[in-house]
Structure 1
């Protein structure tokens, strides 16, 4: 089971990397920034099942860790205006940050996997990811609106 979940984590990291690279090729809008955490929020339904339920302390630990990790994503997410459209800039650091986060996740899974039940661990990793993506996307939306206001006046370049 550990090999399967580790393999899935690596596959998911590759998918996230490819999606992020595609994201830099297309113009960004508020909807594209807001929707990922909304779609991800449906995963919280897992907590309806007892095996995934976490304690308050575990919930706080996971969310705080996610918020701390979100700082790395926030720092590497910048916008630029090209061809009268707003794009997210490619960041060379993003690849290394993503790899680092995957390694940290795998090490944490190995360490915590022996002390926590697999369902609780899954719930905590979901909360960590959610605690990471929500602040990141909120800041992205704020930055997007700032860039849009600075460069555009009623749909025309200033």
Structure 2
């Protein structure tokens, strides 16, 4: 007998797995120097997800999309920005490990899962996916932008005169 999961359970499990992988990657990355490129690549990679809107069943009203993006930018990005700090060690820039970051990520995951389950009752599953993609991108873009600005500021104060990883 094949295992059958309710429609909403699989996305919830995948979201939890993704969040745990982000925590693991973040903890591992704290031991290596960072660069502007490493900060910029995640939003660039995620931006390919906008291709989903080529498919009519994924489309949502513009107001919904803007609201989801702004909710991510205003409510979800702020705690991540506050807990992402850099430090210079031996002329290299490292992302400082923050215990609060892990808890914030877990709290954001829980809020996201509850919201996802709620929203799913009112719009289709594909539209729910679209909304939460925009929410996540709205969270990621300001967070990474703030990280890049902080990285560049610290890089300038190192006094090296040239950036090891220039932006294209």
Q: Please give the range of the TM-score, normalised by the shorter of the 2 chains.
A: over 0.9
- Matching residue within 12, 23, 47 for 1:6: 12
Following TM superposition, by how much is the alpha carbon of 1:155 offset from its aligned partner in structure 2, in angstroms?
5.5
The aligned residue for residue 24 of structure 2 is: 18
Relative to its length, the structure with more helix (as a share) is 1
The aligned residue for residue 113 of structure 1 is: 120
Q: Which structure 2 residue ranges, 5 or more long, are not aligned?
A: 1-6, 164-168
- Matching residue within 67, 75, 84 for 2:73: 67
Q: Which structure 1 residue ranges, 5 or more long, are not aligned?
A: none
The aligned residue for residue 141 of structure 2 is: 134
TM-score by length of 2: 0.89
- Matching residue within 75, 82, 86 for 2:89: 82
Cα distance between partner residues in 2 of 1:3 and 1:119: 15
Cα distance between partner residues in 2 of 1:115 and 1:155: 52
How many residue pairs get aligned? The number is 156
The aligned residue for residue 58 of structure 2 is: 52
Q: Flag as ranges the 4+ runs of structure 1 deviating above 4 A.
A: none
Cα distance between partner residues in 1 of 2:159 and 2:141: 26
Cα distance between partner residues in 2 of 1:5 and 1:137: 25
Q: What SS class does the counterpart of residue 87 from structure 1 fall into?
A: strand
Provide the aligned C-alpha RMSD in A: 1.3
Post-superposition CA distance 1:11-56 (Å, at most 9, x none): 0011110111122111011101111100110011001001110101
Cα distance between partner residues in 1 of 2:149 and 2:92: 17
